[in-house]
Amino acid sequence: MKAVRIHEFGGPEVLKYEEIPDPELRKDQVLVRVRACALNHLDLWVRMGLPGVKLPHILGSDVAGEVVECGEYITDLKPDTRVLLAPMVFCNHCEQCNNGRQNFCPQFAVLGNGVDGGNCELIAVPRVNVIPIPDSLGFVEAASVPLVFLTAWHMLVGRARLRAGQTVLVLGAGSGVGSAAIQICKMLSAEVITTAGDEQKLAKARELGADHTIDHYKQKIADEVKRITNRRGVDIVFEHVGQATWKESVKSLKHGGTLVTCGATTGFQGDLDLRFLFSRQLSLLGSYMGAMGELEEVLKHVFAGKLKPVVDRTFPLSDTRAAHEYLAKSEQFGKVVVTP
């Protein structure tokens, strides 16, 4: 089969489109023909070098395709079934997995990071990862769903306990996770303030339902939040940008507000005056992916058409290098997808 692999860490030039052997199917696995694989910033970080990645390595966390073959232990799936893959692996037998907290499993890893991913024509995965999709959902759209909608759902619902009527500041409306968060907030009857770097992205954010928008290159985020909320601040800040926005994010919180973060695309350091933290009784929460139950829950809303994947652009798998270069510019609104 054809695949894109890295044999060393570095820039987009290390991505190699090459012929490799088809995966060997275990008795407890499902072989899936990849029809689309969405990119995430995680792909850029893995490509540049993360601990524990064994080379050569196949990137790609978000996969949609068709069942080709099932191992002999699998009896409830048929060939040609249209599916997407849960973007994670876990042991499925430890205490955390048995309690439905797979993202706390000691063996938890993200597809395309700890194990080979979907930038290829065929992938073999455990049955638990394989989720049938309705005919109404195309492969490109399906591949744009799992990681970002699961991450956003876990952040807002699982961690921050979002309630109707609350006000949420969503950083980075143009990102996959940002565009998912806006939709989740609106579906759950929250007010949304969001940020982006140009008017075109801000307009698209408003189309998704954002109530207020901030150009983070031209306006101070916290000042605008205070103006919009009559100096009250927001209940929740949905943070994934990191160092570049951290101070403004913290300043945007109301007394007793919650900041939840899943990433740091602009840097890992976040300065914080602890007096500000305890005197305003703020909550700072970390969030990492989500559990299978949460994925199933958010997918129900996607399959019902209440939440919609946002696709910016597709590239052929053979042009994955160009897709990485495009994603690194942060000019997209929504997901960038490669198609074998």
Nearest to 168 by CA among 218, 209, 215: 209
Q: What's the pLDDT tens digit per position in 19-74?
A: 999 999 999 999 999 999 999 999 999 999 999 899 999 999 999 999 999 999 99
Give 141's pLDDT tier (boundaries 50, 70, 90): very high
Assess whether pLDDT exceeds 90 at residue 121: yes
pLDDT at 271: 87
| pLDDT tens track for 200-235 | 999 999 999 999 999 999 999 999 999 999 999 999
Instruction: Provide the percentage of residues in the chain whose pLDDT is more than 90.
Output: 93
Whether the pTM exceeds 0.85: the reply is: yes
Rounded Cα gap, residues 309 and 285, in angstroms: 26
C-alpha to C-alpha distance for 308 and 193, rounded to whole angstroms: 19
CB 4 within 8 A of CB 46: no
Q: Which has more confidence, 335 or 245?
A: 335
pLDDT of 267 > 90? The answer is no
Lowest mean pLDDT among 117-126, 157-166, 239-248, 318-327: 239-248
Q: Report the amino acid identity of residue 322.
A: A
Tell me the two tokens of residue 102: 């797979």
CATH code for the part of the protein at 2-145+309-339: 3.90.180.10
CA distance linking residue 112 with residue 279, whole number of Å: 42
What pLDDT does 12 receive? Answer: 98
Predicted confidence at residue 86, as pLDDT, reads 98
Domain boundaries, the chain: 2-145+309-339, 149-286
Residue ranges of alpha helices (H) inside the chain are: 41-48, 95-98, 139-143, 146-153, 176-187, 199-208, 221-228, 246-251, 274-279, 292-303, 320-328
Burial of 170 (0-12, 13-18, 19+ CB in 10 A): buried
Summarize pLDDT for 150-184 with one digit per residue, the tens: 999 999 999 999 999 999 999 999 999 999 999 99
pLDDT band, very low/low/confident/very high, at 270 (cuts 50, 70, 90): confident
Q: Quick one: fold of 149-286?
A: Rossmann fold (3.40.50)
- pLDDT at position 15 is 98
Sign of CA dihedral 186, 187, 190, 195: negative
pLDDT at 311 over 90: yes
Check pLDDT > 90 for residue 95.
yes
Six token digits for residue 63: 């996969």
Q: For residue 244, what pLDDT is reported?
A: 86
Q: What is the mean pLDDT of the chain?
A: 96
Q: What pLDDT is stored for residue 264 in this prediction?
A: 87
Contact 195/214 with Cβ under 8 angstroms? Answer: yes
Q: Which residues contact 93 (CB under 8 A, 6 or more apart)?
A: none
pLDDT-derived band at 294 (thresholds 50, 70, 90) equals very high
Per-residue pLDDT at 211: 98
Please give the pLDDT value at position 265: 84
